Amino acid sequence: MPTLILLRHGQSTWNLENRFTGTIDVELSPLGIIEAKQAGFLLKNYVINKAFSSVLKRAIDTLEIILQLIGKNIPVIRSAALNERNYGDLQGLNKTEIEEKYGKEKFLLWRRSFETIPPNGENLHTTYDRVVPYYKNTIMPELIQGNNILIVAHGNSLRALIMYLENIDGNKITEISIATGNPRVYQYNNDLNLLNVNYLLEENQTIY
């Protein structure tokens, strides 16, 4: 029975500074490195046959830390299809300052909405339209073959994938936030029917 594990990269330096990051290629923060190690500790007893990540450094480094910690040498595939959404003109700007300047309603629409596009950026719908076909064409066949898969990506690329995996509509997805460094595990039967889904860490729990 195949298992799919989704993981948002560890905290980045711009997460720490409360900036819109998007497609800007920033490093993990010291806490982000700890979160990656914690994820590796949590996944140590899982059999993982193949891993996928975006091409952004914070996801690549998170995955490398995990694989070093669990001592596994497995195939790794990187794809820009799993990259974070592009926040356009908001990238690099402080979220609190943007909310104060434009108001909470517009801020939340730019940040969370499925359809609203930030200035010169990408909405979650566009992100969905690149993430989900990649999952169907490249990752799902691995699960069908019985392989256990780890995906290390970003808050919005994973929210888009979760929409598909859990049949969540565009209105409800605005309520979902994905914590850094906390593996979300999907367990399937051999016909790829979902049996169970859960995070390995409870909210605010740390073990590493």
| Residues tagged in the binding site annotation for substrate | 8-15, 21-22, 58, 84-87, 95, 111-112, 155-156
Token pair of 24, please?
Answer: 């800007």
Token pair of 201, please?
Answer: 């860490």
Catalytic residue among 27, 64, 84, 99: 84
Q: Are 51 and 150 in contact (CB under 8 A)?
A: yes
| 149-153/3-8 β-pairing | parallel
Q: Is 9 one of the annotated active-site residues of the chain? A: yes
Sign of the CA dihedral running 122, 112, 59, 134: negative
Q: Is 154 one of the annotated active-site residues of the chain? A: no
Give the Cα separation of 118 and 203 in Å (integer): 29
- HSE-up (13 A, CA, CB side) for residue 27: 4
Nearest to 35 by CA among 180, 203, 183: 180
- HSE-up (13 A, CA, CB side) for residue 132: 15
Give the Cα separation of 136 and 70 in Å (integer): 27
Give the Cα separation of 109 and 96 in Å (integer): 14
Q: Which residues are catalytic?
A: 9, 84
